[in-house]
């Protein structure tokens, strides 16, 4: 936000928290830096957060607002001389090969093309990126499976409409949660605010931040006034320290 051509009060807001790029996250330990998704704002997000080194990218699903910035991994390739590991389900990785054929063309490779190495992951199977252990699990984005990620007591979920009982159990014990809440109305592939709050009440994390919210959710300052104390609106640049 703001949305192109929209004159609503959210899109005209002077509150910097109402000026949001696409939903994404950066997971950092002392030695490791991992991006979740690389949408069309990936370059701007990396510059704004002054990210000089990136060890891997985790993809949630193949919609453009989560993958179309893949070409921007090139500066990391140039700096490290290492192919960028990109983790995702087989379906998502297959779609990347179709959408970015020049990246994966080993016969007629363009010298300036991004260098990535695909890493296939499966829901429920833990994997490691250096010193960070990651548990992927699935949520449903309408009829599309989307990968979400748990890092010990922190979990990141975007584009969820529903979740299975099995994958909900994989979230037990999470204390810090980021989860999508699109707006206040029914939607075929996203939770609205009421549904997100119900999900949060079932899981009972210590604190939750709402993400992937449209301008229809209202002003940041207004929506925070009606949220429970343990639920807050996310905003660009928000940092969460996991203890």
* pLDDT at residue 106 greater than cutoff 90: no
CA distance 133 to 148: 14
User: How far does CA 36 lie from the centroid of its chain?
Assistant: 5
The pLDDT assigned to 108 comes to 86
Residue 114: name the closest of 86, 88, 87, 75 by CA: 75
CA distance 154 to 240: 10
- β partners of residue 136: 149
Domains and CATH numbers, the chain: 21-120 (3.60.15.10), 121-233 (3.60.15.10)
CA distance 229 to 104: 47
**What pLDDT, in 10s, does the model give residues 175-213?**
999 999 999 999 999 999 999 999 999 999 999 999 999
Q: What are phi and psi of 203, to 5 degrees?
A: -85, -35
**What pLDDT, in 10s, does the model give residues 34-74?**
999 999 999 999 999 999 999 999 999 999 999 999 999 99
| Tokens 């660009």 found at | 236
Per-residue pLDDT averaged across 223-228, rounded? 97
Question: Cβ distance 237 to 207 under 8 Å?
Answer: no
The pLDDT assigned to 54 comes to 98
Element (H, E) at 209: strand 207-211
State the pairing for strand pair 56-58/116-120.
unpaired
Question: Cβ distance 66 to 22 under 8 Å?
Answer: yes
Q: Mean pLDDT in the chain?
A: 97
Contacts of 207 (CB under 8 A, 6+ apart): 175, 176, 177, 230, 231, 232
**What pLDDT, in 10s, does the model give residues 138-171?**
999 999 999 999 999 999 999 999 999 999 999 9
Question: Cβ distance 92 to 59 under 8 Å?
Answer: yes
- β partners of residue 66: none
Residue 167: name the closest of 124, 121, 120 by CA: 124
The pLDDT assigned to 107 comes to 86
CA distance 100 to 114: 10
């Amino acid at each position: 936000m703001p949305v192109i051509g929209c004159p609503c009060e959210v899109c005209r807001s002077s509150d910097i928290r109402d000026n949001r790029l696409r939903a994404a996250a950066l997971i950092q330990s002392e030695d490791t830096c991992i991006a979740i998704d690389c949408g069309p704002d990936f370059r701007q997000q990396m510059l704004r957060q002054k990210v000089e080194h990136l060890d891997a990218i985790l993809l949630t699903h193949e919609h453009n607002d989560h993958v179309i910035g893949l070409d921007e991994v090139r500066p990391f390739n140039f700096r490290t001389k290492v192919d960028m590991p990109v983790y995702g389900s087989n379906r998502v990785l297959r779609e990347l090969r179709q959408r970015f054929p020049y990246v994966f063309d080993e016969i007629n490779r363009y010298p300036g093309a991004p260098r990535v190495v695909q890493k296939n992951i499966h829901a429920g199977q833990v994997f490691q990126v250096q010193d960070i252990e990651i548990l992927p699990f699935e949520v449903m984005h309408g009829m599309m499976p989307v990968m979400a990620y748990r890092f010990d007591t922190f979990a990141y979920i975007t584009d969820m409409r529903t979740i299975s009982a099995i994958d909900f159990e994989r979230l037990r014990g999470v204390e810090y949660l980021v989860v999508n809440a699109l707006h206040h109305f029914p939607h075929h592939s996203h939770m609205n605010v009421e549904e997100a709050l119900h999900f949060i009440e079932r899981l009972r994390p210590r604190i939750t931040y709402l993400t992937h919210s449209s301008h229809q959710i209202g002003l940041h300052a207004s929506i925070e006034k009606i949220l429970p104390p343990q639920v807050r609106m996310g905003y660009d640049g928000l940092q969460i320290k996991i203890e």
